[in-house]
Structure 1
Amino acid sequence: MQAIRALVTRHKSGERVGITSICSAHPLVIEATFVHALRHDLPIVLIEATSNQVNQDGGYTGMVPAAFRSFVEGIAARVGFPLDRLVLGGDHLGPNAWTALPAEAAMAKAEIMVADYVRAGFRKIHLDCSMSCADDPVPLPEHLIADRAARLCRAAEQAFDGAPDDAPVYVIGTEVPVPGGAAEDLDELAVTTPEAALATVTMHRDLFHERGLGAAWDRVVATVVQPGVEFDHDKVVDYRPEKARALSTAIEPVDHIVFEAHSTDYQPPQALAALVRDHFAVLKVGPGVTFALREALWALDAIEAEWIADGRAAMREVTLARMKADPANWRKYYHEQGRALDLQLQYSLSDRIRYYWPDPAIVAAQQTLFANLRRSPPPMGLVSQYLPAAFAAVRRDDIATDPAALVIAHIGITLDAYYGACYPHV
Structure 2
Amino acid sequence: MRATLDQLSALRRDGVPCGIASICSAHPLVLRAALRHGRDTGATVLIEATCNQVNHEGGYTGMTPSDFAALVLRLAGEEGCPREQIVLGGDHLGPNPWRDRPPEAAMAEACAMVAAYVEAGFRKIHLDASMGCAGEPAALDDTTTAHRAALLARVADTAARKAGGEMPRFILGTEVPPPGGADHALSTVEPTAPEAARRTIAIHRETFSAAGLGDALDRVLGFVVQPGVEFGNHNVIRYDRTRAQALARVLDEEPALVFEAHSTDYQGEAALADLVADGFPILKVGPELTFVLREALYGLDLIASDLVPGYGDRPLAAAMERVMCAAPANWHRHYPGTTAEQRLLRHYSLSDRIRYYWPEHAAAEAVAALMEALRGRAVPLPLFWQHLPGAQGFADAPLIPEEVLIWRVTESLRAYHAACNPSKRRG
Same fold (TM over 0.5): yes
CA drift of 1:235 comes to 1.2
Structure 2 gaps, min length 5: none
CA distance in 2, matches of 1:176, 1:85: 27
Structure 1 residue identity aligned to 2:106: A
Which deviates the most, 334-343 or 173-182?
Answer: 173-182
> Taking structure 1 as reference, are residues 399 and 41 closer, same or farther at Cα in structure 2, changes over 3 Å only?
farther
Kindly provide the CA deviation profile for residues 53-92 of structure 1, in whole angstroms up to 9, marking residues without a partner as x.
Answer: 0001111100000000001111111111111110000000
Structure 1 gaps, min length 5: none
CA distance in 2, matches of 1:116, 1:67: 11
Indicate conservation of the 8 Å contact 1:11/1:18, yes or no.
no
Q: Match for 2:423 among 413, 422, 425?
A: 425
CA drift of 1:331 comes to 0.9
Aligned residue in 2 for 1:31: 32
Aligned residue in 2 for 1:331: 332
For residue 87 of structure 1, give the secondary structure of its aligned residue in structure 2.
strand
Structure 2 residue identity aligned to 1:33: A
Kindly provide the CA deviation profile for residues 301-343 of structure 1, in whole angstroms up to 9, marking residues without a partner as x.
Answer: 1011101112458111101110000001011111233332221
> Taking structure 1 as reference, are residues 46 and 176 closer, same or farther at Cα in structure 2, changes over 3 Å only?
closer
Kindly provide the CA deviation profile for residues 139-170 of structure 1, in whole angstroms up to 9, marking residues without a partner as x.
Answer: 31211011111111011011012798711100
Aligned residue in 1 for 2:404: 406
Asked if residue 157 in structure 1 is aligned to residue 157 in structure 2, the reply is yes
Instruction: Give the number of aligned pairs.
Output: 421
Structure 2 residue identity aligned to 1:252: D
Which deviates the most, 14-23 or 383-392?
Answer: 383-392
Aligned residue in 2 for 1:126: 126
Structure 1 residue identity aligned to 2:366: A
CA drift of 1:399 comes to 9.5
CA distance in 1, matches of 2:345, 2:301: 18
CA drift of 1:41 comes to 2.5
> Taking structure 1 as reference, are residues 131 and 15 closer, same or farther at Cα in structure 2, changes over 3 Å only?
same
Kindly provide the CA deviation profile for residues 9-29 of structure 1, in whole angstroms up to 9, marking residues without a partner as x.
Answer: 323332120100000000111
CA drift of 1:252 comes to 2.1
CA drift of 1:400 comes to 6.3
Indicate conservation of the 8 Å contact 1:218/1:256, yes or no.
no
CA distance in 2, matches of 1:226, 1:400: 46
For residue 389 of structure 1, give the secondary structure of its aligned residue in structure 2.
coil
Aligned residue in 1 for 2:386: 385
CA distance in 2, matches of 1:132, 1:182: 20
> Taking structure 1 as reference, are residues 224 and 307 closer, same or farther at Cα in structure 2, changes over 3 Å only?
same
CA distance in 1, matches of 2:328, 2:182: 21
Structure 2 residue identity aligned to 1:27: P
Indicate conservation of the 8 Å contact 1:176/1:182, yes or no.
no
CA distance in 2, matches of 1:241, 1:420: 18
Indicate conservation of the 8 Å contact 1:390/1:407, yes or no.
no
Which deviates the most, 336-345 or 50-59?
Answer: 336-345
Taking only the aligned residue pairs, the percentage that are identical comes to: 46
Asked if residue 340 in structure 1 is aligned to residue 341 in structure 2, the reply is yes
Indicate conservation of the 8 Å contact 1:336/1:344, yes or no.
no
Which deviates the most, 191-200 or 9-18?
Answer: 9-18
CA distance in 2, matches of 1:322, 1:373: 23
CA drift of 1:177 comes to 8.8
Kindly provide the CA deviation profile for residues 336-368 of structure 1, in whole angstroms up to 9, marking residues without a partner as x.
Answer: 333322211011111111111111110111111
CA distance in 2, matches of 1:109, 1:267: 35
Aligned residue in 2 for 1:303: 303
Aligned residue in 2 for 1:368: 369
Runs of 4+ in structure 1 off by over 6 angstroms are: 162-165, 177-181
TM-score for the superposition, normalised by structure 1: 0.94
Indicate conservation of the 8 Å contact 2:53/2:61, yes or no.
yes
Structure 1 residue identity aligned to 2:241: P
